[in-house]
């Protein structure tokens, strides 16, 4: 017997009207699970019918209620994107009509009067974004009990998009607050997720601290399919010519010779011709997202492609989209992509992917590997939503042609290898787990402010119990919460203040923060830092790595010594470093998880061939594997290079940077860059000796390391954290001091 | 010592029940009133002035439990005795002086609902006031030979000229018409309109043919119209008692606070300039509501200068003519007197039935002072509650010794009426977070 019979009569009538011949696998499985009550994660491929798998049994539950006169919403459907909500609204409209259940959509673009109607007579299904939900709680906190008191269930659409992110923390916290405002111990949560290798991650994201009691339902239906390609490009590198036009490596002996070799203009990264041609050929005429990396790169790519349109007397279809553009400009691009039938490609920064509210495109392209599998999965999900259309993702891996003087690191084509490794992880259904012990203090500050607005004043203990004991901020204990409150109440911060009877209230600065429209969203677009030499700005760079003065960094094709980092002004002051040509690795290595780097090592050491590589990419991989064998990296991860040493620990960014900083603390000039650590002016033996000692010792004291590193304000409210807490965040979330002995041991083979 | 009045059993029970619950009794305030002589005198003068067609505004400022609400109730009783109409409401998150989301209308509705006169002291007097007005007009019509309708129209002339007065007058005329015609529906609609219970103009227009309703924006104008109207109906004027103004201080939005303070400024200016008639305001709030320069009334420059303490009022000299009345702490003597009175209430005014000797009152005060220090003088509420609890135990258990019981009396620091409902209460570990002071 099919589970069809367990659905309510109007629901079955609708299914019959749709002329479905049978229910799909995910629906058959989800119906009994959802009807049974409790938390459920429903996973299946894109376009496999997850939406119906959840809504059909939920409507059956709502229709089965004895109380027919609704005084609150019955189903709260939270979705990360407005476009997705509009899409779901169309899909559910006729169903809800058949069932006589009101259906509301509620996000920034919905008219105020429609929202007001929904608010005044709350009932049925409401489709909403986390930000609109936050706004409702903040601005109409006292109505929360009425609006959400009768909820049957909360549905979290695209649950995988919330795992481990700030927005995920916010959503979990909001759901806890809704349960508390409704006076309920718990409200059933239904999560809809892409299939992940470890579904427990999704369960835990749905119900923090209670993932083991979440029922898991996995549909086996084929989705629309995925078409994925990694395209390799071997490009001869244009090197900054030293004085006298002498090509090749400069050892830069003389300090005074350096400034004269400075490029006189900020070097804009150029788009290699073959890459531009292919992008133009593959993207034009359809709607796409092109993730190009930093803002500079976005501008260059968009400009190059626009120029190509003009040259061929075609209308322009390529538009840049990043945080430095005005909101109106960005919205123009989004609107055009969403509502305009003309083909449009938005060229966007990697960091902005959450901020772009575009539901459905034909294809996604990205330059380089990107930094997380989760975001790759997200991007992939932006295409292939329409029936019969597969998801399309093209990764453009641009590698240097190897020549004399190339860094050994370049010979490994790590950009390409990382892309391959990430696709392998993606195919395994893996995604980055939330970092254990992460404090999320920035998001916690946001939630404290939001709670105060919602309640009109709250006792510190209640706030802690709700947010940290019941809610998702489990790593924050009472003492840390006190420290945080003291920090944000400090006279120079003034986010909160206290009434004489002890209630937390919004402080003077907090009023400015909470009164803006931006307040409801927690995801911040990380600010880019200006790289400054002398009085000249060399360009900007998103600061996704942990750096300390004295280290070197590579920027605009040159190597620089970091003199000073100002996190508040977002300026890095640099001086040219005298050294051999830097590796050309331009990829997104910062923030990469251990598992990806391990897979990269396996790709280099292995023999497997991959069908999704184009011919150039396959050749480049073969070259890289040859280099791997030449350099004997499997057995010698400590390599002499020029006058320095290169270390290949094959670990993720946190461990890599921590080891580099630990070496700095031992008076080496060590910088983490592109999956390797470069140690200047050192002998392999000397480095190996220190590593051996590190391997045999307990982890180093974190404080000296924390003291010297820059602490970029990555999350939205990091700027309000007092120094001590920012140090703590750095030590806990951005460094991994405990790993130093193990990583060192790996390098010296002990 | 003044001769003690006997206390009616009904008053006695009402007083004791209310005090044990920590609230102000509605009846028999005179039995437990101590001190505050000059403050009361000042308010009596205000009330007389209002009854003469003047205006008044007083901010009654005191700590939680200092007796603000008690004082407001006392004022209310005096005003009722003097044939004024009294409206009374507590501000809250859903009831404010200025708002755009219906909270100001809601406060107006609460006030209109609470309207009380000497004969209807428990609220709901609007209907009586209307009837009194119509009756008067009918009498006048009879005397002059005009129609009732014409008499009403004539007497409403003043109101019609006031801000938002036209529709107000129309609605009152509609009530009178309904009264004459025995049309209950029309009367009910008019009452509903006057109480600020219509939320849409469309509805009001369909029922009464008026184009406006009393909404958020009409809060103060509505009160002015009511004040004018109760005078027409034969009452001295209207006294509006608003309590818990600390809720304005607690608004988390700077803009919303400012708008409320602007409205208070408007009221204050009207009163001080004498442009209102027969209308008085008594506003109760905690010191931070007034004095906090960041989010209290003092944060609003124009109000601060108008409300500033008389700079000569220092060293025990007080000025009771300014708009602010600071409820000083009860002196130990006054507190002792209060305990005496409570003992009298228990004994229904008969000294022979006193439950404890004078010695016990001293011992009680000493005990409390030791337990929580000087602070307890500031907040009679908890002291009174504890003492009433003690006496009622002794009353019900005649064998019990007050000395034994006294050791068990505990008094919590008064945190005000604020209760948190977001999470069920639970025992908190005794750590820094529990009593955090930032």
CB A383 within 8 A of CB A360: yes
What pLDDT score does B272 carry? Answer: 87
A222 touches chain B (CB under 8 A): no
Contact (CB<8Å) A464/B420: no
A543 touches chain B (CB under 8 A): no
Structural domain boundaries in chain B? 1-35+330-413, 44-119+234-326, 127-216
CA A690, CA A158: separation in Å to the nearest integer? 47
State yes or no: pLDDT of A528 exceeds 50.
yes
Q: Are strands A496-498 and A318-321 parallel, antiparallel or unpaired?
A: unpaired
If you average pLDDT over residues B298-306, what whole number do you get? 90
CB B32 within 8 A of CB B345: yes
Cα-Cα-Cα-Cα torsion A336, A338, A340, A341, nearest 10 degrees, comes to 130
What pLDDT score does B230 carry? Answer: 95
Smallest CA–CA separation between A124 and chain B, in Å? 24
CA A733, CA A548: separation in Å to the nearest integer? 16
Output the average pLDDT for chain B.
87
CB A176 within 8 A of CB A26: no
Question: Which of A 124-143 lie inside 8 A of B, CB atoms?
Answer: 140, 142
Smallest CA–CA separation between A188 and chain B, in Å? 19
CB B415 within 8 A of CB B372: no
- The single residue listed with the structure tokens 């609470």 is B114
Contact (CB<8Å) A459/B420: yes
- Chain A residues whose CB is inside 8 A of the B92 CB are none
Contact (CB<8Å) B251/A500: no
CA B311, CA B246: separation in Å to the nearest integer? 25
If you average pLDDT over residues A603-616, what whole number do you get? 94
Nearest to A366 by CA among A344, A350, A383, A384: A350
Those residues whose C-beta lies under 8 Å from the C-beta of residue B194, and which sit 6 or more positions away, are: B112, B126, B130, B168, B171, B172, B175, B214, B226
Q: Report the residue from B418, B429, B432 with minimal CB separation from A501.
A: B418
Structure tokens at A608: 């497997």
Higher pLDDT: A327 or A144? It is: A144
* A18-61: pLDDT as tens digits: 888 889 999 999 999 999 999 999 998 877 889 999 999 999 99
Element of type H or E holding A226:
strand A226-235
- The single residue listed with the structure tokens 């006030």 is B111
The region that residue B194 occupies, defined by phi over 0 for left and psi between -120 and 50 for alpha, beta otherwise, is: alpha
Q: Are strands A40-43 and A188-193 parallel, antiparallel or unpaired?
A: parallel
If you average pLDDT over residues A515-528, what whole number do you get? 78
Question: Which of A 162-181 lie inside 8 A of B, CB atoms?
Answer: 180-181
A497 touches chain B (CB under 8 A): yes
Identical fold for domains A3-218 and A226-238+268-401, yes or no, is yes
Number of inter-chain CB pairs under 8 A, A vs B: 84
Contact (CB<8Å) B252/A503: no
Contact (CB<8Å) B254/A515: yes
Contact (CB<8Å) B249/A499: yes
What pLDDT score does B429 carry? Answer: 72
Smallest CA–CA separation between A118 and chain B, in Å? 16
* B108-122: pLDDT as tens digits: 999 999 999 999 988
- Chain A residues whose CB is inside 8 A of the B416 CB are 501
The region that residue A346 occupies, defined by phi over 0 for left and psi between -120 and 50 for alpha, beta otherwise, is: beta
CB B32 within 8 A of CB B342: yes
A515 touches chain B (CB under 8 A): yes
What pLDDT score does A250 carry? Answer: 39
| Residue B153, helix vs strand vs coil | helix
State yes or no: pLDDT of A370 exceeds 90.
no
If you average pLDDT over residues A92-99, what whole number do you get? 94
ipTM of the complex: 0.81
If you average pLDDT over residues A366-381, what whole number do you get? 87
State yes or no: pLDDT of A164 exceeds 70.
yes
What pLDDT score does A359 carry? Answer: 63
CA A564, CA A541: separation in Å to the nearest integer? 15
Q: CA-based diameter of chain A, in Å?
A: 88
Structure tokens at B183: 């049309």
* B379-425: pLDDT as tens digits: 677 778 888 888 888 888 887 788 877 777 666 555 554 545 667 77
Contact (CB<8Å) B433/A180: no
Smallest CA–CA separation between B149 and chain A, in Å? 40
- Chain A residues whose CB is inside 8 A of the B429 CB are 478
Those residues whose C-beta lies under 8 Å from the C-beta of residue A648, and which sit 6 or more positions away, are: A633, A637, A638, A639, A675, A676, A747
The arrangement of secondary structure in B44-119+234-326, i.e. its CATH architecture, is 3-Layer(aba) Sandwich (3.40)
pLDDT band at A687; cut points 50, 70, 90? very high
A175: exposed, middle or buried (C-beta count within 10 Å: 0-12, 13-18, 19+)?
buried
State yes or no: pLDDT of A586 exceeds 90.
no
Which of A460, A486, A504, A722 has the highest number of chain B CBs within 10 A, making it the mutation to test binding with B? A460
pLDDT band at B56; cut points 50, 70, 90? very high
A121 touches chain B (CB under 8 A): no
What pLDDT score does B315 carry? Answer: 67
Nearest to A545 by CA among A562, A533, A557, A569: A562
What pLDDT score does A587 carry? Answer: 54
What pLDDT score does A674 carry? Answer: 81
Higher pLDDT: B404 or A729? It is: A729
- Chain A residues whose CB is inside 8 A of the B244 CB are none
Return the residue of A nearest to B413 by Cα.
Answer: A501
Structure tokens at A201: 């991650």
Contact (CB<8Å) A458/B422: yes
- pTM value surpassing 0.90: no
What pLDDT score does B24 carry? Answer: 82
What pLDDT score does B96 carry? Answer: 94
For B170-182, letters b (16+ CB in 10 Å) and e give bbbbbbbbbbeee
> Cα-flanking dihedrals φ and ψ of residue B326, to 5°?
-90, 115
- Chain B residues whose CB is inside 8 A of the A502 CB are 415, 435-437
CA B354, CA B425: separation in Å to the nearest integer? 39
A448: exposed, middle or buried (C-beta count within 10 Å: 0-12, 13-18, 19+)?
buried
Highest mean pLDDT among A82-91, A155-164, B222-231: B222-231
- Chain A residues whose CB is inside 8 A of the B286 CB are 500
Smallest CA–CA separation between A486 and chain B, in Å? 6
Q: Tell me how far the alpha carbon of residue A300 is from its chain's centroid.
A: 23
Q: Report the residue from A140, A453, A478 with minimal CB separation from B431.
A: A478
Contact (CB<8Å) B433/A503: no
Contact (CB<8Å) A486/B250: no
Smallest CA–CA separation between A660 and chain B, in Å? 39
Please provide the distance, in angstroms rounded to a whole number, between the alpha carbons at the two ends of chain A: 61
CA B65, CA B375: separation in Å to the nearest integer? 11
Contact (CB<8Å) B250/A499: yes
State yes or no: pLDDT of A546 exceeds 80.
no
State yes or no: pLDDT of A428 exceeds 70.
yes
What pLDDT score does B375 carry? Answer: 63
Quote the percentage of chain A above a pLDDT of 90: 50
Element of type H or E holding B148:
helix B148-155
Structural domain boundaries in chain A? 3-218, 226-238+268-401
Output the average pLDDT for chain A.
86
Q: Tell me how far the alpha carbon of residue A12 is from its chain's centroid.
A: 40
CA B419, CA A300: separation in Å to the nearest integer? 59
Those residues whose C-beta lies under 8 Å from the C-beta of residue A655, and which sit 6 or more positions away, are: A594, A649, A736, A739, A743
State yes or no: pLDDT of A580 exceeds 60.
no
* A638-684: pLDDT as tens digits: 988 888 899 999 999 889 999 999 998 888 989 888 899 989 888 99
What pLDDT score does A608 carry? Answer: 93
CA B174, CA B186: separation in Å to the nearest integer? 7
Those residues whose C-beta lies under 8 Å from the C-beta of residue B97, and which sit 6 or more positions away, are: B91, B104, B107, B219, B220, B242, B248, B260, B263, B264
What pLDDT score does A566 carry? Answer: 86
For B308-334, letters b (16+ CB in 10 Å) and e give eeeeeeeeeebebebbbbbbebbeeeb
Q: Report the residue from B295, B422, B434 with minimal CB separation from A455.
A: B422
Q: Report the residue from B64, B255, B436 with minimal CB separation from A482.
A: B436
CA B214, CA B113: separation in Å to the nearest integer? 14
Smallest CA–CA separation between B207 and chain A, in Å? 22
CB A502 within 8 A of CB A459: yes
* A232-266: pLDDT as tens digits: 999 886 544 333 333 333 343 333 334 444 443 44
CB A271 within 8 A of CB A303: no
Q: Give the full edge-to-edge strand order of the sheet including A363-367.
A: A226-235, A391-400, A363-367, A288-293, A345-349, A318-321
Three-state SS string over A284-327 comes to CCCCEEEEEECHHHHHHHHHHHHHHHHHCCCCCCEEEECCCCCH
CA B228, CA B242: separation in Å to the nearest integer? 19
CA B129, CA B230: separation in Å to the nearest integer? 7
The arrangement of secondary structure in A3-218, i.e. its CATH architecture, is 3-Layer(aba) Sandwich (3.40)
What pLDDT score does A264 carry? Answer: 38
Q: Report the residue from B94, B250, B423 with minimal CB separation from A465.
A: B423
CA A300, CA B225: separation in Å to the nearest integer? 68
Those residues whose C-beta lies under 8 Å from the C-beta of residue B219, and which sit 6 or more positions away, are: B97, B98, B104, B105, B107, B108, B263
CA atoms lying within 13 Å on the CB side of residue B351: 8
What pLDDT score does A479 carry? Answer: 93
What pLDDT score does A288 carry? Answer: 92
Sign of CA dihedral A32, A37, A41, A46: positive
The region that residue B117 occupies, defined by phi over 0 for left and psi between -120 and 50 for alpha, beta otherwise, is: beta
* A336-352: pLDDT as tens digits: 887 888 999 999 887 66
What pLDDT score does A356 carry? Answer: 66
DSSP one-letter code for A733: I
Quote the percentage of chain A above a pLDDT of 70: 91
Contact (CB<8Å) B422/A501: no
Smallest CA–CA separation between A459 and chain B, in Å? 8
Radius of gyration for the alpha carbons in chain B, expressed in angstroms and rounded: 24
A120 touches chain B (CB under 8 A): no
Q: Report the residue from B249, B254, B286 with minimal CB separation from A511.
A: B254
The arrangement of secondary structure in A226-238+268-401, i.e. its CATH architecture, is 3-Layer(aba) Sandwich (3.40)
Structure tokens at A561: 């010594």
What pLDDT score does A260 carry? Answer: 40
If you average pLDDT over residues A300-324, what whole number do you get? 90
- Chain B residues whose CB is inside 8 A of the A140 CB are 101
Q: Using a CB cutoff of 8 Å and minimum separation of 24, what contacts does B160-169 make?
A: B162/B221, B162/B224, B162/B225, B162/B228, B163/B221, B163/B224, B164/B212, B164/B218, B164/B221, B164/B222, B164/B225, B165/B225, B167/B210, B167/B211, B167/B212, B168/B194, B168/B222, B168/B225, B168/B229
Contact (CB<8Å) B294/A497: yes
Question: Which of A 429-468 lie inside 8 A of B, CB atoms?
Answer: 452-453, 455-462, 464-466
- Chain B residues whose CB is inside 8 A of the A506 CB are 252-253
Q: Give the CA distances from residue B239 to residues A165, A648, B73, in Å, rounded to whole numbers and listed in that order.
A: 56, 83, 12
* A121-141: pLDDT as tens digits: 899 999 999 999 999 999 988
């Amino acid at each position: 017997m099919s589970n069809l019979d367990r659905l309510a009569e109007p629901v079955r009538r609708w299914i019959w009207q749709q002329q479905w011949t049978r229910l799909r696998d995910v629906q058959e499985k989800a119906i009994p699970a959802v009807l049974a009550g409790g938390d459920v994660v429903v996973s299946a491929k894109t376009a496999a019918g997850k939406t119906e798998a959840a809504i059909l049994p939920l409507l059956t539950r709502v229709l089965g209620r004895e109380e027919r006169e609704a005084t609150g919403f019955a189903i709260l459907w939270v979705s990360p994107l407005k476009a997705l909500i509009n899409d779901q609204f169309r899909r559910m409209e006729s169903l809800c009509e058949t069932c006589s259940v009101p259906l509301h959509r509620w996000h920034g673009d919905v008219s105020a009067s429609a929202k007001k109607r929904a608010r005044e007579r709350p009932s049925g299904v409401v489709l909403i974004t986390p930000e609109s939900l936050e706004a409702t709680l903040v601005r109409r906190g006292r109505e929360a009990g009425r609006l959400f008191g009768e909820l049957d269930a909360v549905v979290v659409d695209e649950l995988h998009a919330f795992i481990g992110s700030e927005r995920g923390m916010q959503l979990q916290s909001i759901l806890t607050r809704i349960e508390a405002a409704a006076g309920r111990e718990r409200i059933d949560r239904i999560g809809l997720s892409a299939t992940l290798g470890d579904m427990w991650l999704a369960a835990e994201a749905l119900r923090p601290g209670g993932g083991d009691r979440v029922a898991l339902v996995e549909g086996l239906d084929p989705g629309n399919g995925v078409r994925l390609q990694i395209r390799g490009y071997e490009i001869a590198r244009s090197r900054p010519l030293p004085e006298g036009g002498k090509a090749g490596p400069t050892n830069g002996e003389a300090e005074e010779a350096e400034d004269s070799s400075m490029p006189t203009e900020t070097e804009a990264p150029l788009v290699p011709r073959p890459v531009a041609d292919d992008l133009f050929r593959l993207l034009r005429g359809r709607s796409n997202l092109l993730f190009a990396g930093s803002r500079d790169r976005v501008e260059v790519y968009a400009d190059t492609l626009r120029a190509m349109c003009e040259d061929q007397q075609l209308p322009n279809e390529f538009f840049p989209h990043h945080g430095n553009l005005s909101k109106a400009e960005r919205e123009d691009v989004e609107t055009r992509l969403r509502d305009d039938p003309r083909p449009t490609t938005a060229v966007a920064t990697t960091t902005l992917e959450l901020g772009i509210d575009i539901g459905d495109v034909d294809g996604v392209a990205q330059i380089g590997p990107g930094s997380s599998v989760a975001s790759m999965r997200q991007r992939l999900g932006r295409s292939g939503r329409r029936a019969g259309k597969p998801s399309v993702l093209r990764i453009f891996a641009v590698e240097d042609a190897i020549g004399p003087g190339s860094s050994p690191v370049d010979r490994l084509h790590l950009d390409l290898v990382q892309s391959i490794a990430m696709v392998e992880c993606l195919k395994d259904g893996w995604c980055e787990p939330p970092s254990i012990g992460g404090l999320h203090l920035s998001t916690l500050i946001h939630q404290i402010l939001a709670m105060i607005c919602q309640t009109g004043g709250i006792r510190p203990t209640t706030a802690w119990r709700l947010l940290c004991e019941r809610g998702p901020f489990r790593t924050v204990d009472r003492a840390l919460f006190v420290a945080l409150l003291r920090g944000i109440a400090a006279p120079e911060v003034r986010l909160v203040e206290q009434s004489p009877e002890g209630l937390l209230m919004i402080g003077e600065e907090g009023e400015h923060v909470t009164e803006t429209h931006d307040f409801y969203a927690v995801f911040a677009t990380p600010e880019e830092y200006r790289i400054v030499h002398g009085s000249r700005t060399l360009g900007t760079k998103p600061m996704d790595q942990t750096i300390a003065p004295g280290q070197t960094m590579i920027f605009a094709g040159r190597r620089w010594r970091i003199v000073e980092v100002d996190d508040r002004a977002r300026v890095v002051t640099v001086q040219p470093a005298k050294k051999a040509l830097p590796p050309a690795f331009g990829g997104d290595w910062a923030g990469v998880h251990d598992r990806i780097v391990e897979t990269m090592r396996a790709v280099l050491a292995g023999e497997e061939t991959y069908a999704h590589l184009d011919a150039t990419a396959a050749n480049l991989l073969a070259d890289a594997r040859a280099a791997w064998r030449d350099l004997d990296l499997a057995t010698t991860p400590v390599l002499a290079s020029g006058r320095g040493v290169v270390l290949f620990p094959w670990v993720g960014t946190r461990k890599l940077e921590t080891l580099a900083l630990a070496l700095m603390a031992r008076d080496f000039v060590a910088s983490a860059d592109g999956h390797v650590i470069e140690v200047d002016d050192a002998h392999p033996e000397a480095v190996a000796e220190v590593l051996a000692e590190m391997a045999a010792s307990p982890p180093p004291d974190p404080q000296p390391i924390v003291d010297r590193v820059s602490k970029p304000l990555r999350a939205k409210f990091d700027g309000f954290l007092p120094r001590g807490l920012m140090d703590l965040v750095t030590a806990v979330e951005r460094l991994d001091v405990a790993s130093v002995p193990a990583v060192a041991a790996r390098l010296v083979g002990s | 010592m003044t001769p003690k009045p006997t206390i009616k059993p009904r008053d006695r029970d009402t007083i004791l029940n209310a005090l044990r619950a920590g609230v102000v009794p509605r009846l028999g305030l005179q039995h437990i009133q101590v001190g505050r002589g000059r403050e009361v005198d000042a308010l009596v003068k205000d009330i007389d002035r209002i009854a003469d067609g003047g205006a008044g505004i007083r901010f009654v400022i005191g700590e939680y439990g200092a007796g603000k609400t008690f004082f407001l109730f006392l004022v209310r009783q005096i005003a009722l005795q003097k044939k004024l109409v009294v409206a009374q409401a507590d501000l809250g998150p859903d009831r404010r002086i200025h708002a755009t989301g219906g909270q100001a209308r809601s406060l107006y509705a609460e006030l209109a609902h609470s309207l009380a006169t000497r004969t209807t002291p428990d609220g709901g007097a609007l209907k009586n006031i209307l009837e009194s007005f119509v009756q008067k007009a009918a009498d006048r019509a009879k005397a002059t030979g005009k129609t009732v309708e014409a008499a009403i129209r004539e007497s409403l002339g003043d109101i019609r000229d006031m801000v938002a007065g036209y529709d107000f007058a129309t609605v009152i005329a509609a009530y009178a018409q309904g009264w004459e015609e025995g049309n209950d529906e029309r009367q009910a609609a008019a009452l509903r309109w006057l109480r600020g219970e219509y939320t849409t103009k469309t509805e009001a227009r369909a029922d009464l043919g008026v184009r406006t309703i009393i909404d958020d924006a009409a809060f103060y104008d509505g009160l002015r119209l009511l004040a004018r109207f109760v005078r027409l109906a034969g009452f001295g004027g209207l006294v509006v008692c608003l309590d818990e103004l600390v809720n304005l201080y607690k608004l988390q939005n700077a803009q919303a606070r400012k708008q409320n303070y602007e409205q208070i400024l408007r009221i204050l200016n009207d009163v001080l300039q004498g442009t209102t008639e027969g209308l008085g305001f008594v506003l109760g709030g905690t010191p931070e509501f007034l004095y906090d320069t960041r989010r209290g009334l003092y944060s609003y420059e124009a109000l601060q200068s108008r409300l500033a303490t008389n700079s000569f009022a220092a060293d025990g000299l007080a000025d009771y003519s300014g708009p602010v009345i600071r409820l000083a702490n009860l002196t130990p003597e006054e507190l002792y007197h209060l305990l005496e009175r409570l003992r009298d209430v228990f004994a229904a005014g008969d000294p022979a039935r006193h439950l404890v000797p004078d010695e016990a009152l001293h011992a009680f005060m000493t005990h409390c002072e030791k337990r929580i220090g000087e602070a307890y003088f500031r907040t009679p509420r908890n002291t009174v509650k504890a003492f009433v609890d003690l006496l009622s135990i002794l009353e019900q258990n005649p064998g019990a010794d007050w000395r034994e019981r006294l050791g068990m009396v505990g008094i919590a620091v008064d945190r005000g009426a604020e209760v948190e409902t977001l999470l069920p209460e639970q025992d908190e570990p005794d750590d820094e977070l529990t009593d955090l002071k930032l």
